[in-house]
Protein backbone atom coordinates (compact mmCIF):
# COMPACT_ATOMS: atom_id res chain seq x y z
CA UNK A 1 0.00 0.00 0.00
CA UNK A 2 1.28 3.44 -0.96
CA UNK A 3 -0.16 6.02 1.46
CA UNK A 4 -0.20 9.72 0.58
CA UNK A 5 -1.09 12.32 3.21
CA UNK A 6 -2.47 15.69 2.21
CA UNK A 7 -1.61 18.45 4.69
CA UNK A 8 -3.57 21.09 2.79
CA UNK A 9 -6.99 22.27 4.02
CA UNK A 10 -8.10 22.02 0.38
CA UNK A 11 -9.12 18.56 -0.78
CA UNK A 12 -9.05 19.55 -4.46
CA UNK A 13 -6.23 22.09 -4.44
CA UNK A 14 -2.74 22.07 -5.90
CA UNK A 15 -1.24 19.73 -3.32
CA UNK A 16 -4.09 17.24 -3.52
CA UNK A 17 -3.89 17.30 -7.32
CA UNK A 18 -0.19 16.46 -7.31
CA UNK A 19 -0.68 13.72 -4.72
CA UNK A 20 -3.38 12.28 -6.95
CA UNK A 21 -0.88 12.03 -9.79
CA UNK A 22 1.69 10.42 -7.49
CA UNK A 23 -0.82 7.73 -6.56
CA UNK A 24 -1.90 7.32 -10.18
CA UNK A 25 1.73 6.64 -11.06
CA UNK A 26 1.95 4.07 -8.26
CA UNK A 27 -1.23 2.36 -9.45
CA UNK A 28 0.21 2.18 -12.98
CA UNK A 29 2.80 -0.18 -11.50
CA UNK A 30 0.16 -2.28 -9.78
CA UNK A 31 0.39 -0.85 -6.27
CA UNK A 32 -2.70 -0.27 -4.11
CA UNK A 33 -2.97 3.31 -2.84
CA UNK A 34 -4.67 5.45 -0.22
CA UNK A 35 -5.03 9.24 -0.03
CA UNK A 36 -5.61 10.71 3.42
CA UNK A 37 -6.78 14.31 3.91
CA UNK A 38 -5.64 15.50 7.33
CA UNK A 39 -8.44 18.06 7.32
CA UNK A 40 -10.89 15.16 7.68
CA UNK A 41 -9.29 14.00 10.94
CA UNK A 42 -9.81 15.35 14.45
CA UNK A 43 -6.45 15.27 16.25
CA UNK A 44 -3.80 17.37 17.93
CA UNK A 45 -0.01 17.47 18.05
CA UNK A 46 2.28 15.65 20.46
CA UNK A 47 1.45 16.23 24.15
CA UNK A 48 4.92 15.17 25.37
CA UNK A 49 3.65 12.29 27.51
CA UNK A 50 6.63 10.09 26.51
CA UNK A 51 4.50 6.94 26.62
CA UNK A 52 6.03 5.94 23.27
CA UNK A 53 9.42 5.69 25.02
CA UNK A 54 8.39 4.16 28.32
CA UNK A 55 10.37 1.04 29.29
CA UNK A 56 8.08 -1.95 29.27
CA UNK A 57 5.45 0.08 27.48
CA UNK A 58 4.26 0.22 23.90
CA UNK A 59 7.48 1.50 22.33
CA UNK A 60 7.07 3.13 18.96
CA UNK A 61 3.33 3.64 19.27
CA UNK A 62 1.63 6.94 20.09
CA UNK A 63 -0.55 6.64 23.20
CA UNK A 64 -3.06 9.32 22.18
CA UNK A 65 -6.38 8.01 20.91
CA UNK A 66 -7.93 10.35 18.38
CA UNK A 67 -8.47 10.72 14.65
CA UNK A 68 -4.77 10.14 13.91
CA UNK A 69 -4.43 6.82 15.72
CA UNK A 70 -5.58 4.55 12.91
CA UNK A 71 -3.43 6.32 10.34
CA UNK A 72 -0.28 6.06 12.46
CA UNK A 73 -0.78 2.31 12.74
CA UNK A 74 -1.52 1.86 9.01
CA UNK A 75 1.69 3.69 8.15
CA UNK A 76 3.68 0.91 9.82
CA UNK A 77 2.38 -1.49 7.16
CA UNK A 78 2.85 0.87 4.20
CA UNK A 79 5.24 0.07 1.36
CA UNK A 80 5.86 3.78 0.69
CA UNK A 81 4.77 7.07 2.27
CA UNK A 82 4.17 10.41 0.57
CA UNK A 83 3.67 13.64 2.50
CA UNK A 84 2.24 16.66 0.70
CA UNK A 85 1.79 20.20 1.95
CA UNK A 86 1.54 23.77 0.74
CA UNK A 87 4.08 26.07 2.32
CA UNK A 88 2.65 28.61 4.75
CA UNK A 89 5.15 31.07 6.22
CA UNK A 90 8.14 29.05 4.98
CA UNK A 91 7.06 25.74 6.47
CA UNK A 92 4.45 23.02 6.10
CA UNK A 93 0.91 23.62 7.35
CA UNK A 94 0.01 23.38 11.02
CA UNK A 95 -1.98 20.22 10.31
CA UNK A 96 1.06 18.55 8.71
CA UNK A 97 3.35 19.74 11.47
CA UNK A 98 1.10 18.28 14.17
CA UNK A 99 0.94 15.00 12.25
CA UNK A 100 4.74 14.90 11.89
CA UNK A 101 5.22 15.55 15.62
CA UNK A 102 3.19 12.45 16.38
CA UNK A 103 4.62 10.30 13.57
CA UNK A 104 8.29 11.18 13.98
CA UNK A 105 8.47 11.40 17.76
CA UNK A 106 6.67 8.12 18.47
CA UNK A 107 9.17 6.32 16.24
CA UNK A 108 12.27 7.81 17.86
CA UNK A 109 14.15 6.77 20.99
CA UNK A 110 16.63 8.73 23.09
CA UNK A 111 19.33 6.10 22.54
CA UNK A 112 22.79 6.20 21.01
CA UNK A 113 22.16 3.21 18.75
CA UNK A 114 19.04 1.84 17.02
CA UNK A 115 17.43 5.22 17.51
CA UNK A 116 14.52 4.72 15.12
CA UNK A 117 11.71 2.26 15.77
CA UNK A 118 9.95 2.24 12.40
CA UNK A 119 9.75 -1.46 11.54
CA UNK A 120 11.27 -1.42 8.02
CA UNK A 121 13.10 0.55 5.36
CA UNK A 122 10.69 1.99 2.80
CA UNK A 123 10.84 4.74 0.16
CA UNK A 124 9.12 8.04 0.71
CA UNK A 125 8.50 11.38 -0.96
CA UNK A 126 7.66 14.96 -0.08
CA UNK A 127 5.50 17.12 -2.32
CA UNK A 128 5.54 20.88 -1.67
CA UNK A 129 3.44 23.58 -3.32
CA UNK A 130 4.42 27.24 -3.06
CA UNK A 131 2.66 30.44 -4.03
CA UNK A 132 6.03 32.09 -4.62
CA UNK A 133 8.08 32.00 -7.82
CA UNK A 134 11.11 29.74 -7.85
CA UNK A 135 13.61 32.38 -6.75
CA UNK A 136 11.59 32.97 -3.60
CA UNK A 137 11.40 29.26 -2.90
CA UNK A 138 15.15 28.72 -3.15
CA UNK A 139 15.68 31.58 -0.72
CA UNK A 140 13.64 29.90 2.02
CA UNK A 141 13.62 26.17 1.28
CA UNK A 142 16.12 25.53 4.07
CA UNK A 143 13.21 25.80 6.50
CA UNK A 144 11.74 22.52 5.23
CA UNK A 145 15.01 20.60 4.94
CA UNK A 146 14.67 19.35 8.50
CA UNK A 147 11.52 17.47 7.50
CA UNK A 148 13.41 15.74 4.69
CA UNK A 149 16.25 14.85 7.05
CA UNK A 150 14.11 13.22 9.72
CA UNK A 151 11.81 11.40 7.32
CA UNK A 152 14.84 9.88 5.61
CA UNK A 153 16.47 8.89 8.89
CA UNK A 154 13.31 7.26 10.20
CA UNK A 155 12.46 5.32 7.03
CA UNK A 156 16.03 4.36 6.18
CA UNK A 157 16.59 6.25 2.93
CA UNK A 158 16.40 9.86 1.70
CA UNK A 159 12.97 10.90 0.40
CA UNK A 160 12.30 12.04 -3.14
CA UNK A 161 11.28 15.71 -3.23
CA UNK A 162 9.01 17.54 -5.67
CA UNK A 163 8.52 21.31 -5.60
CA UNK A 164 5.70 23.02 -7.49
CA UNK A 165 5.93 26.82 -7.47
CA UNK A 166 3.82 29.79 -8.58
CA UNK A 167 0.66 28.03 -7.43
CA UNK A 168 -2.70 29.25 -8.72
CA UNK A 169 -4.54 30.20 -5.53
CA UNK A 170 -7.80 31.75 -6.77
CA UNK A 171 -10.13 31.27 -9.71
CA UNK A 172 -10.96 34.99 -9.74
CA UNK A 173 -8.08 37.19 -8.58
CA UNK A 174 -10.20 40.34 -8.94
CA UNK A 175 -12.15 39.41 -5.81
CA UNK A 176 -9.08 39.55 -3.55
CA UNK A 177 -6.42 42.07 -2.54
CA UNK A 178 -3.52 40.56 -4.48
CA UNK A 179 -1.69 43.33 -6.29
CA UNK A 180 1.63 41.95 -5.03
CA UNK A 181 1.04 38.86 -7.18
CA UNK A 182 1.68 38.65 -10.91
CA UNK A 183 -1.58 37.03 -12.00
CA UNK A 184 -0.56 36.84 -15.66
CA UNK A 185 2.67 35.02 -14.81
CA UNK A 186 0.83 32.69 -12.43
CA UNK A 187 -1.79 31.76 -15.02
CA UNK A 188 0.91 31.25 -17.67
CA UNK A 189 2.77 29.00 -15.24
CA UNK A 190 -0.43 27.07 -14.58
CA UNK A 191 -0.96 26.45 -18.29
CA UNK A 192 2.60 25.64 -19.22
CA UNK A 193 4.49 24.36 -16.18
CA UNK A 194 1.97 22.82 -13.79
CA UNK A 195 1.15 20.01 -16.27
CA UNK A 196 4.86 19.18 -16.23
CA UNK A 197 4.78 19.07 -12.44
CA UNK A 198 1.85 16.66 -12.64
CA UNK A 199 3.84 14.43 -14.98
CA UNK A 200 6.79 14.54 -12.59
CA UNK A 201 4.42 13.55 -9.78
CA UNK A 202 3.16 10.60 -11.84
CA UNK A 203 6.72 9.46 -12.52
CA UNK A 204 7.61 9.89 -8.86
CA UNK A 205 4.74 7.62 -7.87
CA UNK A 206 5.83 4.96 -10.36
CA UNK A 207 9.39 5.15 -9.06
CA UNK A 208 8.24 4.52 -5.48
CA UNK A 209 6.97 1.14 -6.60
CA UNK A 210 9.74 0.13 -8.99
Nearest in space to 95 (alpha carbons), one of 18, 16, 27: 16
Would you place residue 174 in the very low, low, confident or very high pLDDT band (cuts 50, 70, 90)? confident
Sheet with 33-37, strands from edge to edge, namely 33-37, 2-6, 80-86, 124-129, 160-164
Q: Is 146 exposed, middle or buried (0-12, 13-18, 19+ CB in 10 A)?
A: exposed
pLDDT in tens, 178-205: 888 888 989 998 999 999 999 999 999 9
8 Å CB contact between 39 and 29: no
Query: Domains of the chain by range and CATH?
Result: 2-209 (3.40.50.360)
Amino acid sequence: MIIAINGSPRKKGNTATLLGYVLEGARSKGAPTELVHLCDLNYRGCVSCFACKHKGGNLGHCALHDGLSGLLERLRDAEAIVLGSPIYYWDVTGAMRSFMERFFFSNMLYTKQNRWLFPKRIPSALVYTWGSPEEGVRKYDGFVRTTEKYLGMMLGMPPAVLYSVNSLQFNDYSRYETDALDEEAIRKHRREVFPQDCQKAFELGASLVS
